[in-house]
């Protein structure tokens, strides 16, 4: 299949490669004070305004939106330290009780009545190395699921909790790295019950879609059935950094071209639209490398030097920078808007 190339004038920022998550490298800016008082109204008059800002007690990372609750991973003050989980009421912006974690959290998923958390621990705290199963009411760690290949990325389906493999491999055998696998945890047994090798790609991001799970990384994007059978595969040359699903397509941020071999890697500035029916790969050229991407309500939200949005009905896809004073790190979209955690700050912004 021959890809379709589209131009774009949007401007984005460089990407930092870290062990836990993607981040955008941007100049510093002053954030507006947190919004107070009555709930923020959505949609705004323009449909693209910062209607609320929420101050947090630490630096925010991964966002998980579930109903009226936005779960926020708050980074520890030092590598391997104890981070926190914050719960934000999405209507009022009120920060509800914060849970202390035994790890520095990377990612969060919700399923089977529990929060599932991956993160980094110090050697002295190795008993919490693995995937934490956390009570969302009390913050108590209910179980620690361990496995040699368990990495940081998470996705929850009605059948189980999927985890991306860790970037570990036998000496001199990088093609056997754990990032070429995804693993399924059975919440009834609190144990890994399935290991699936991904065809032609690694795992940098995971996304659940009903009973299926999507994975993207170096080499392509793949959709797996509940049993790990390959339902769809689209190869590409480069890294899939973050992914969203909207309008019959997977939208993949691509900040690097090349393979896992560092000698081949070059900075890229692309958003990929991978359509399923008819099958088609559309390449949207950007001004600078993209960061996070999230979708809801017929809109794809893209992290750039500022925030950009794409109305999925447009052809070709055209990212529209909103000109807002936000530097997105992670994005959690909802119908009509998105929550943004701002890089280098303790601030969440609600845009709609």
Task: Give the domain ranges of the chain.
Answer: 4-351
The answer, yes or no, to whether the previous bond of 43 is cis (omega within 30 of 0) is: yes
What three-state secondary structure class fits 178? Answer: helix
62 vs 21: which has the higher pLDDT:
62
pLDDT (0 to 100) of residue 245: 97
- The residue written with tokens 């509800």 in the block is 96
- Average pLDDT on 7-13 reads 40
- For residue 339, what are the CA distances in angstroms to 70, 82, 314, 319? 9, 24, 23, 18
Collect all residues with Cβ–Cβ distance below 8 Å to 11 and sequence separation of at least 6. Answer: 287, 288, 304, 305, 306, 321
pLDDT (tens digit per residue) in 104-114: 999 999 999 99
Q: What is the mean pLDDT of the chain?
A: 88
- Average pLDDT on 7-31 reads 34
Burial of 126 (0-12, 13-18, 19+ CB in 10 A): exposed
- The CATH fold assigned to 4-351 is Methylamine Dehydrogenase; Chain H (2.130.10)
- Per-residue confidence at 203, pLDDT binned at 50, 70, 90? very high
10 vs 198: which has the higher pLDDT:
198
- Average pLDDT on 70-74 reads 97
* Portion of the chain with pLDDT greater than 70, in percent: 89
Model-wide pTM > 0.85:
yes
Is 91's pLDDT higher than 80? yes
Q: What secondary structure letter does DSSP report for 80?
A: T
Distance separating alpha carbons of residues 342 and 241, to the nearest angstrom? 18
Is 338's pLDDT higher than 80? yes
pLDDT (0 to 100) of residue 21: 36
Q: Which two tokens stand for residue 237?
A: 């040359």
């Amino acid at each position: 299949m021959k890809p379709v190339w589209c131009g774009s004038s949007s401007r984005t920022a460089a990407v930092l490669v870290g062990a836990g998550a993607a981040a955008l490298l941007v100049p510093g800016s002053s954030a507006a004070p947190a919004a107070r008082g009555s709930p923020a109204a959505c949609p705004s008059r323009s449909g693209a305004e910062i209607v609320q800002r929420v101050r947090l007690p630490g630096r925010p990372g991964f966002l998980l939106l579930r109903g009226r609750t936005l779960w926020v991973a708050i980074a520890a003050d030092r590598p391997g330290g104890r981070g926190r989980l914050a719960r934000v009421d999405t209507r009022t912006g009120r920060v509800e009780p914060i849970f202390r974690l035994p790890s520095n959290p990377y990612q969060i998923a919700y399923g089977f009545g529990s929060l599932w958390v991956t993160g980094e621990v110090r050697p002295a705290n190795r008993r919490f190395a693995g995937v934490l199963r956390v009570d969302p009411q009390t913050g108590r760690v209910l179980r620690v699921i361990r496995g040699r290949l368990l990495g940081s990325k998470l996705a929850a389906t009605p059948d189980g909790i999927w985890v991306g493999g860790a970037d570990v491999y036998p000496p001199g055998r990088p093609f056997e790295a754990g990032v070429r696998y995804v693993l399924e945890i059975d919440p009834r047994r609190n144990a890994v019950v399935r290991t699936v090798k991904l065809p032609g790609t690694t795992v940098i991001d995971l996304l659940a879609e009903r009973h299926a799970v999507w994975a993207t990384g170096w080499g392509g994007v793949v959709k797996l059935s509940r049993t790990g059978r390959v339902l769809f595969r689209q190869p590409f040359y480069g890294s899939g950094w973050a992914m969203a699903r909207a309008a019959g397509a997977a939208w993949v941020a691509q900040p690097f071209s090349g393979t896992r071999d560092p000698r081949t890697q070059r900075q890229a500035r692309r958003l990929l639209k991978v359509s399923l029916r008819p099958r088609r790969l559309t390449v949207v050229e950007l001004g600078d490398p993209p960061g996070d991407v999230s979708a809801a309500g017929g809109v794809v939200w893209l992290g750039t030097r500022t925030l950009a949005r794409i109305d999925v009905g447009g052809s070709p896809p055209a990212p529209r920078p909103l000109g807002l004073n936000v530097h997105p790190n992670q994005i959690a979209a909802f119908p009509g808007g998105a929550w943004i955690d701002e890089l280098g700050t303790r601030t969440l912004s609600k845009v709609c």
